[in-house]
Structure 1
Amino acid sequence: MGVPETPAAPALDGIRVLELGTLIAGPFCGRLLADHGADVVKVEAPDRPDPLRDWGQAEVDGHHFFWTVHARGKRCVTLDLRRSRGQELFLRLVETADVVVESFRPGTLEKWGLGYDVLSGRNPRIVLARVSGYGQTGPHSGRPGYASVAEAVSGMRHLNGFPGGPPPRTALSIGDSLAGMFAAQGVLTALLARDRPGGRGQVVDVSLAESCLALLESTIPDHSATGHVRGPGGTRLDGLAPSNLYRCADDRWMVIAANQDTVFARLCTAMERPDLVDDARFATHTARGRHQDEIDAIVAAWAAERDADELTRVLEAAGVVVGPVNTVADVVRDPQFLARDMLLPHHDEALGRDVLGPGVVPRLEGTPGSVRWAGPARPGTHNTEVFGGLLGLTGAELDALAAERII
């Protein structure tokens, strides 16, 4: 019999992250790092735990589920960073760490005597990821920032909705999540640079507004070169056709994306309209963009005669890109997501049972990430483990710190 292979350690095994701050952007960065094996130690104030513990639209007996997912894989401690004893304990933790992630208003760490100069003085290899509304510099750096405003000032919100109507928001904190993703990317980049010969730690400066701006594709050069201001396109992108939502006979909405010339030809075959391929109005990508309303009307009339299942069978057989507009109730039953472990159980301590949450993205073949545990229900769950195990504090010392509300 062969010797069983030892499972590979996750990619970030051995990396320690101290997560400060609250709500979504910074904690999402910490979650992404924890998913791939980093030892993420989340620090909460003893008297003010992360409000994310009480966020989420659904609840069971007053318990919400945002925290269940965003604090997964993290060890949670309490520590008062506003007091000198808490600051010194934090600096001792910094000596053991690779990364600090914070999402306070710029200047807060400096006010507490915990600026990057102090952190790097204790540990020159430390990477400090700073997530804020507008960044650490500039005329707006001191302003508080939320995702909703970041999406607006970046120009992203202007592109949402229908022409002439108010620009709606997506029912998610997109700006926060984008900032968390860019922060995680910045952390990994900084760690790579640090580990080169002569490398050291550095500051990763991430802005919610700039994270949204970074996704604006060609809107900025379009305006710079021609003065064009892209506006909202409703259910489509102007100039890309056919690529839209179409209502089926059973009232389900389907996305058909056939704007590429080869895919459009396949769609025409599936619709039994080969004449459209050679029609001057639709023969090229550019022509279809100019006659977008006309081709959309033709595809819409064809789709309206079929239910969603039939439409899917016909178009998939023809090699046309198609898919339904799913609700979350559809998503949790989707065989593709299930097959790729994108819907994983999280044991919610407060609820006392498993709930589903999103899987780990991206998937790494050789060193896969995992959901090791859900967000701990109690603030300070790992105080003894972290302060005792990493700093060597005794039980008596921990009791005294707890009595003083330092931890």
Structure 2
Amino acid sequence: MKRTKPALPLDGIRVLDLSTVLAAPVTATFLGDFGAEVVKVEEPRHGDFTRGTATGERSPYWAQEARNKKSVTLDLRTPHGQGLVRSLVPFFDVVITNYRPSTLSSWGLDPDSLRAIAPDAILVYVTGYGLTGPYSDRGSFDRIASAFAGLTYVTGDPDREPVRSGYSTIDYMAAYLGAFSVVTALYHRDTAGGGGQVIDLALYEAGFRASEDALTSYATTGRVRERLGNRNPKIVPASDFTTSDKRRISLHAGTNPLFRKLAALMERPELPGLPQYATRAARAENAESLYTTIADWVARHTADELTGLLNSAGIPASPLMNIADIAADPHYLERGTITTVDDPDFGRLPMAAPIPRLSETPGQIRTTGPALGEHNTEIYEGLLGLSSQEVADLHADGVI
């Protein structure tokens, strides 16, 4: 008997994406990857910032991050637009937004207002500082959240100024938490017999939750976590080194068994028996001399050669990859971390595949990012029940 393909796990769940830029929209993207019907509300003239232009066109970035979404235009700054979105909300299981609390209140989109009209909806508020607290109405972006969460302070070399991550790390961390919280709330509603609820996700909290033992250590010892660069003073050897072909490679041999393997590979089997390197504590005390020895050995080999040697010996190692390296890497390609999809503007476009992998219901990229307002007729007429003349009038008035 031929097995039918199972539905995606979030098939039948409708998501209204009332957000812009990154953390909140990507929350919706993750849900769309696993089957949710996502309707993205965009400003009528220019659309979302991630379109990459000021004309509402499509960028490759938009194609990836707005995949599996439908686009409708709506000016939330007008009373008519605010009324229209409130009419839409009851049709959706999940509503996601990321405007400041005071702005949401002025638009009638605050939690109390939306719960009154959609008591069973999951309402997700991804804001810079949360819906409560003295900073709740401050604006934020990934850079600001990273600073406030303490992530920027501990990033970089100890003798240099702090640096921000090269990617919008906190935005994506918040998006993972946002998607997780939505699925948790849906389970509570649909399986555990609960109702709708409000999810209050502060951008900075996503970064702060990743701060390891910084707080507990400070509370018990008074020590402030500082920048460590590429080296952890308690785990030696574990760092980055320059190879003979002037690339950088990262290796971790900080445990005693791994250090013995590294010493054997370096043809220096005596190193683990020396008093200054025999234990983790001893290696930490004598890190500089050990790192000099390893750096000299690394400098005699290419990055590719070392990557093979180290991993074959059971020592975790990787060259520092740029995006060109990643795009050509066989593991990324054969595992499907990168997938290639057809796009109307960019042809065969590689992009990050849906993660994580579910054995029976893996995520899918069904469409790439839509054209601005592509689904106005479908949503305003087909879902909301407006006439074609009413939709035309809304467009003429600049509401959609």
Sort the TM-score into its range (normalised by shorter chain): over 0.9
1:33 maps to which of 23, 27, 31: 31
CA distance in 2, matches of 1:124, 1:385: 25
Query: How many angstroms does 1:345 deviate by?
Result: 2.2
Which amino acid in 2 is paired with 1:343?
I
Query: How many angstroms does 1:242 deviate by?
Result: 0.9
Query: How many angstroms does 1:49 deviate by?
Result: 1.8
Which amino acid in 2 is paired with 1:6?
T
Query: How many angstroms does 1:274 deviate by?
Result: 1.7
Maintained 8 Å contact 2:336/2:353: yes
- Worse overlay, 103-112 or 89-98: 89-98
2:356 maps to which of 347, 357, 362: 362
Q: Alpha carbons of 1:179 and 1:55: their partners in 2 closer, same or farther (altered >3 Å)?
A: farther
Which amino acid in 2 is paired with 1:31?
T
RMSD of equivalent CA atoms: 1.9
CA distance in 2, matches of 1:394, 1:354: 38
2:369 maps to which of 372, 375, 381: 375
Q: Alpha carbons of 1:22 and 1:243: their partners in 2 closer, same or farther (altered >3 Å)?
A: same
Q: Alpha carbons of 1:365 and 1:348: their partners in 2 closer, same or farther (altered >3 Å)?
A: same
Aligned to 1:399: 392
1:15 maps to which of 8, 13, 16: 13
What SS does the aligned partner of 2:39 have? Answer: strand
Query: How many angstroms does 1:81 deviate by?
Result: 2.6
Maintained 8 Å contact 2:29/2:65: yes
Q: Alpha carbons of 1:389 and 1:238: their partners in 2 closer, same or farther (altered >3 Å)?
A: farther
Maintained 8 Å contact 1:31/1:73: yes
- Worse overlay, 95-104 or 110-119: 110-119
Indicate yes or no: 2:294 matched with 1:299.
Answer: yes
CA distance in 1, matches of 2:249, 2:101: 45
What SS does the aligned partner of 1:107 have? Answer: helix
CA distance in 2, matches of 1:309, 1:112: 57
CA distance in 2, matches of 1:329, 1:189: 37
Query: How many angstroms does 1:312 deviate by?
Result: 2.1
Q: Which 5+ residue runs of structure 1 have no aligned equivalent?
A: 57-61
Aligned pairs, number: 398
Query: How many angstroms does 1:336 deviate by?
Result: 0.8
CA distance in 1, matches of 2:133, 2:319: 44
Q: Alpha carbons of 1:198 and 1:7: their partners in 2 closer, same or farther (altered >3 Å)?
A: closer
Indicate yes or no: 2:324 matched with 1:324.
Answer: no
1:126 maps to which of 101, 121, 124: 121
Maintained 8 Å contact 1:247/1:253: yes
Maintained 8 Å contact 1:55/1:66: no
CA distance in 1, matches of 2:191, 2:130: 27
Query: How many angstroms does 1:138 deviate by?
Result: 0.8
Sequence identity percentage: 38
CA distance in 2, matches of 1:161, 1:119: 43
Give 4+ residue runs of structure 1 displaced > 3 Å after superposition.
82-85, 346-349
CA distance in 2, matches of 1:197, 1:364: 23
Query: How many angstroms does 1:48 deviate by?
Result: 4.7
1:218 maps to which of 213, 216, 219: 213
Maintained 8 Å contact 1:55/1:67: no
CA distance in 1, matches of 2:349, 2:177: 28
Deviations 1:292-339 (A, max 9, x none): 222222211111111122212221221111111111001011111111
Query: How many angstroms does 1:101 deviate by?
Result: 0.6
What SS does the aligned partner of 1:109 have? Answer: helix
CA distance in 2, matches of 1:303, 1:75: 51
Query: How many angstroms does 1:167 deviate by?
Result: 0.8
CA distance in 1, matches of 2:338, 2:312: 28
CA distance in 2, matches of 1:251, 1:38: 46
Deviations 1:86-109 (A, max 9, x none): 333323322221111101012222
Q: What is the correspondence of 1:187-336 to structure 2 with a 5 Å cutoff?
A: 187-336=182-331
TM-score if structure 2 supplies the norm length? 0.94
What SS does the aligned partner of 2:130 have? Answer: coil
Aligned to 1:5: 3
Maintained 8 Å contact 1:248/1:308: yes
TM-score if structure 1 supplies the norm length? 0.93
CA distance in 1, matches of 2:9, 2:284: 45
CA distance in 2, matches of 1:392, 1:232: 57
Query: How many angstroms does 1:347 deviate by?
Result: 3.5
Q: Which 5+ residue runs of structure 2 have no aligned equivalent?
A: none
What SS does the aligned partner of 1:159 have? Answer: coil
Which amino acid in 2 is paired with 1:367?
T
What SS does the aligned partner of 2:200 have? Answer: strand
